[in-house]
Amino acid sequence: MPYAALLLFQHAYDPGAPVHGAPWLWFTILKIIVVFTVIMVGVAMLTLAERKVSAWIQDRHGPNRAGPHGLLQPLADGLKNIMKEETYPSAANMALFILAPVMSFVPALLTFAVIPFAAPLRTPWGVVNMSIADAPIGFLYILAIASLGVYGIVLAGWSSNNKYSLLGGLRASAQMISYEVAMGMATVTVLLLSGNVALDAIIRQQIVSGWNAFPLLIGFFIFLVAAFAETNRLPFDMPEAESELIAGYHTEYSAMKFSMFFIAEYSNMVTASALMVTLFFGGWSVPFGGTLNTAPWIWWKTLITLGFFVLKTGFFLFLYMWIRWTLPRFRYDQLMSLGWKFMLPLALCYLVVMAGAILVLDALRVSPTAHTLGFIPTYWAILGVLNLVLAVLVFVILDRGRILSPAYVRLGAVELARLRAASTRSALAPVQGD
């Protein structure tokens, strides 16, 4: 295992004796109440943030009448949805029609339960880990629970007995299957580098050796693109494409059932952003934090690391919004082609290359914690340079805008020039006839 050397540093990150018995139960209940309350309130404020960001990008004001600077707009929207009439299509499968929003909403909240959001907190009863469930298989839990959300979308499309909703549900299932495989393959490299599937262990590995975003640059890119596709966000919002499917799988929904799909979408955005931070950007660790990231744990260390975790997660949430109001939507054939012809082969090849590189470095006895290049870990630097070479190979030499460009067509350059010339001649013909 490449990071067996981390055991030498385990004493610096040993949280101490954890809480047990009744204090553990009360702390767990408190964490559940606080975390899920913050997520629900945060999701409501994210809707306001998205509208403010879109207004800023489009040079307009955005919501500014409900409360100071529009801060009460989410409350007004929630109150409006609660008071709206619940409509039920006469031909719908009523049980599944009602169950679908719940099946989409609940997994979106449960996935956050295993993500560590701050350094451990020392209390008189022991040390409390800052995650709701300190599961040793936290990463596998997230992949398993997050994949359940598609069932709610598919059932919403099918049970509505509406052709637009059905098409949206089918698109969602095909899209999530297409990109979920690439996402899983990309994150396997993180597990190879850390030698563990526990999210706490992955964070400890990055504290010692540096963030994984540089030595796993291609893996981070694959995960980022797949995260956009898994959350149905632009440019991958084909399941609810307004231009051709009206609103996709939630065409027939109204009032709070309609809002639950949006709550699930923003909750998935929060979870995907927090997972990106945890796997590739050190989680709650403070950059160059030194003793802030190590024991002994003090309450103010917990607060500082919580603040950095929120800042990192907030950056990726802003990136979600920025991309939505910047890039156009893919065509559906482009979306599927990108997933199966580019993302999946790239993820498989990248996994083979990185596994081979880690095996070679391990055979050469290159220590993951050795700093022979000054303050830069040698292991980290070698893998980072390898990823830069792969990035140039993939995006500059092999692609050259033919695969990733939204304007990609199957025609060659000669055929495309001939068609353009023909269309120009046909457009000028009436003018010459006059």
Biggest alpha carbon distance in the chain? 92
Is the confidence at residue 317, as pLDDT, over 90? yes
Average pLDDT, the chain: 81
Q: Please give the backbone phi and psi of residue 365, each rounded to the nearest 5 degrees, phi first.
A: 60, 40
Average pLDDT estimate for 110-124: 86
CB 216 within 8 A of CB 306: no
pLDDT at 8 over 50: no
What integer pLDDT is reported at residue 262 of this predicted model? 82
- Residues 17 and 265: their CA atoms lie apart, in Å, by 38
Which position has the higher pLDDT, 242 or 152? Answer: 152
Average pLDDT over residues 410-430: 74
With a cut of 50, say whether residue 240 has pLDDT above it. yes
Q: What pLDDT shows up at residue 277?
A: 93
| DSSP assignments along 45-60, one per residue | HHHHHHHHHHHHHTTS
Q: Helices marked H in 231-342 — which ranges?
A: 242-245, 255-280, 299-324, 332-337
Q: Which two tokens stand for residue 302?
A: 């917990």
* pLDDT number for residue 398: 65
Q: Which helix (H) or strand (E) holds 128?
A: strand 126-128
What is the residue whose two structure tokens read 């709701």? 132
The angle, 0 to 180 degrees and rounded to 10, between the axes of the packed helices 163-194 and 199-209 is: 50
Give the per-residue pLDDT at 251.
77
- Going by C-alpha positions, the residue among 312, 232, 231, 307 that lies closest to residue 276 is 312
13-17, 61-65, 101-105: which range is least confident on average? Answer: 13-17
User: How confident is the model at residue 64, as a pLDDT?
Assistant: 85
- Euclidean distance between CA atoms 298 and 301, whole angstroms: 5
The angle at the Cα of 350, spanning 347 to 351, to the nearest 5 degrees, equals: 85
246 has which bridge partners? Answer: none
In order of 187, 342, 349, 357, 366, the CA distances from 354 in angstroms are 12, 18, 9, 5, 15
Q: Residue 363, SS3? A: helix
Above pLDDT 70, what percent of the chain? 86
Would you state the pLDDT for residue 416?
72
Q: Name residues whose C-beta falls within 8 Å of residue 1's C-beta, 6 or more positions apart in sequence.
A: 195
pLDDT of residue 312: 93
- Please give the C-alpha separations between residue 344 and each of 177, 336, 339, 377, in angstroms, as whole numbers: 11, 11, 6, 30
Does the pLDDT of residue 402 top 70, yes or no? no
pLDDT higher than threshold 70 for residue 270: yes
What is the distance between the terminal CA atoms of the chain, rounded to a whole angstrom? 79
What digits encode the pLDDT tens for the residues 332-391?
A: 777 888 888 888 888 999 999 999 998 888 888 877 666 555 566 777 888 888 999 888
Q: What percent of the chain has pLDDT over 90?
A: 10
In the predicted model, is pLDDT for residue 41 greater than 60?
yes
| Predicted pLDDT at 310 | 93
pLDDT value at position 316? 93
Peptide bond into 235 cis (omega under 30): yes
Ramachandran class of 127: left when φ > 0, alpha when ψ lies in -120 to 50, beta otherwise: beta
Beta bridge partners of 18: 127
Give residue 12's pLDDT band: very low, low, confident or very high (50, 70, 90).
Answer: very low
| Angle between the N-to-C axes of helices 217-230 and 344-363, in degrees from 0 to 180, rounded to the nearest 10 | 150
Mean pLDDT of 152-175: 81
Question: How far apart are alpha carbons 262 and 268 in whole angstroms?
Answer: 10
Q: How many CA atoms lie within 13 A of 172 on its CB side?
A: 31
Beta bridge partners of 123: 126
For residue 10, what pLDDT is reported? 46
Report the distance separating Cα 153 and Cα 351, nearest Å. 31
**Using an 8 Å Cβ cutoff, are 282 and 322 in contact?**
no
- Tens-digit pLDDT profile for residues 418-427: 878 887 877 6
Interatomic CA distance for residues 270 and 94, integer angstroms? 31
**How far is Cα 222 from Cα 280, in angstroms, rounded to an integer?**
12
pLDDT for residue 9: 44
Give tens-digit pLDDT for 92-115: 888 888 888 888 888 888 888 889
Inter-CA distances, 151 with 174, 227, 269, Å:
12, 17, 18
Query: Nearest 5 degrees, angle CA 201-CA 287-CA 378?
Result: 70
122: phi then psi, degrees, rounded to nearest 5? -85, 130
- Model pLDDT, residue 372: 56
Q: Which tokens in the block code for residue 263? A: 């709550």
